[in-house]
Amino acid sequence: MIKLAGSLQTGNSDWLFKQVELELYSGGWTCLLGPSGVGKTTILRLLAGLETHGTFKGELKTQTCSYMAQQDLLLPWLNVIGNVTLGAKLRGEKIDQERAKALIEQVGLSEHATKFPRQLSGGMRQRVSLARTLMEDQDLVLLDEPFSALDAKKRADMQELAHELLSGKTVMLVTHDPAEAARLGDKNEIMDATGIQQMPAKKKKTILAPEAAETLKLQSNLLVALRKEAA
């Protein structure tokens, strides 16, 4: 069970957030929405064990994770295989080339395995980043707006690919896009200055089609709630 409850103090009398409570949906997707600057990324960084600009007080139950950010964070001097196998190299472990190749194939980049990031489009780079995330094989996967820089078609494709390849894992997705949360979230949460509030989410574990009535209903629900929070 991945859980966070507490506050984050950034100065003597400044808090980024107070009394926030979040529990991730085990073995499925939790989407965290909310206005910019409210601390969504900070929540994700706390769960990832990364440093934050402040002191967290409260309860934090997490585990080792794999992490994917908005920037693909591909090392420019390594080719696709090199980037996918980065984790093992950094830990000084034996590199499982076969598994890396299989994952690169799953994300549809077999032909580009020896290319460098510069030679790839934004969408391809994000797929390499996804393969690298899968290569880590962690049960907890933290995604910080990884699809937000992609165009609409690529974003929808990436959502489906990620949903398929990350099935069974506990995933947290920080996003600004209500449509994305509606499609993917088994649990949707909206964060604002007062805390985190749970919102309705899809019933089945499969990903929803972008045009499905349920998606559109959830999406408008989320959008209305987000606009209310912002007001």
Partner 1 sequence: MNRLGWIILSCCFAIGLWQALVTLTGVPHFILPAPKQVLDTLIKSHELIAWHALITISEVLIGLALGALLGALTALHLMVSATSRRLLMPILVFSQAIPVFALAPVLTLWLGYGIWSKVFMAVLITYFPVASNFLDGLRGTDKGFLDLATTMRAGRWQTLLQIRLPAALPSLASGLKLAAVYAPIGAIIGEWVGASDGLGYLMLLANGRAKIDLMFASLFVLATFTVLLHSVISYFANWLTRRAKGETKELLENA
Nearer to partner 1, 76 or 168 (CB): 76
CB of 135 vs partner 1, minimal distance in Å: 10
CB of 161 vs partner 1, minimal distance in Å: 20
Q: List the x/- string, 183-202, binding to partner 1 by CB under 8 A.
A: --------------------
Is the Cβ–Cβ distance between 65 and 138 less than 8 Å?
Answer: yes
What are the DSSP E strand ranges found in 69-207?
Answer: 140-144, 170-174, 187-192, 195-199
90 belongs to the binding site for partner 1 (CB under 8 A):
yes
Number of residues that bind partner 1 (CB under 8 A): 29
50 belongs to the binding site for partner 1 (CB under 8 A):
yes
214 belongs to the binding site for partner 1 (CB under 8 A):
no
84 belongs to the binding site for partner 1 (CB under 8 A):
no
For the sheet with 15-23, list strands across it: 15-23, 3-9, 55-61
C-beta contacts of 200-207 below 8 A and 24+ residues apart: 201/31, 205/28, 207/159, 207/160, 207/163, 207/164, 207/183
Which stretch, 67-75, 164-172, 175-183, 219-227, contacts partner 1 (CB under 8 A)?
67-75
Strand partners, 172: 30, 142
Q: Residue 2: CB partners within 8 Å, gap ≥ 6? A: 23, 24, 26, 47, 61, 62, 63, 140, 170, 172
65 belongs to the binding site for partner 1 (CB under 8 A):
yes
Among 6, 60, 96, 116, binds partner 1 (CB under 8 A): 116
| 121: amino acid identity, one letter | S
> 117's torsion region: left (phi>0), alpha (psi -120 to 50) or beta?
alpha
Nearer to partner 1, 93 or 105 (CB): 93
118 belongs to the binding site for partner 1 (CB under 8 A):
yes
CB of 226 vs partner 1, minimal distance in Å: 26
Is the Cβ–Cβ distance between 104 and 80 less than 8 Å?
Answer: yes
75 belongs to the binding site for partner 1 (CB under 8 A):
yes
For residue 67, the surrounding DSSP H or E stretch is strand 65-68
Among 64, 148, 198, 206, binds partner 1 (CB under 8 A): 64
Structure-derived torsion over alpha carbons of residues 138, 144, 147, 150, reported in degrees to the nearest 10: -140
77 belongs to the binding site for partner 1 (CB under 8 A):
yes
Residue numbers of the site for partner 1 (CB under 8 A)?
45, 48-50, 64-67, 69, 71, 73, 75-79, 86-87, 89-92, 115-119, 136, 142
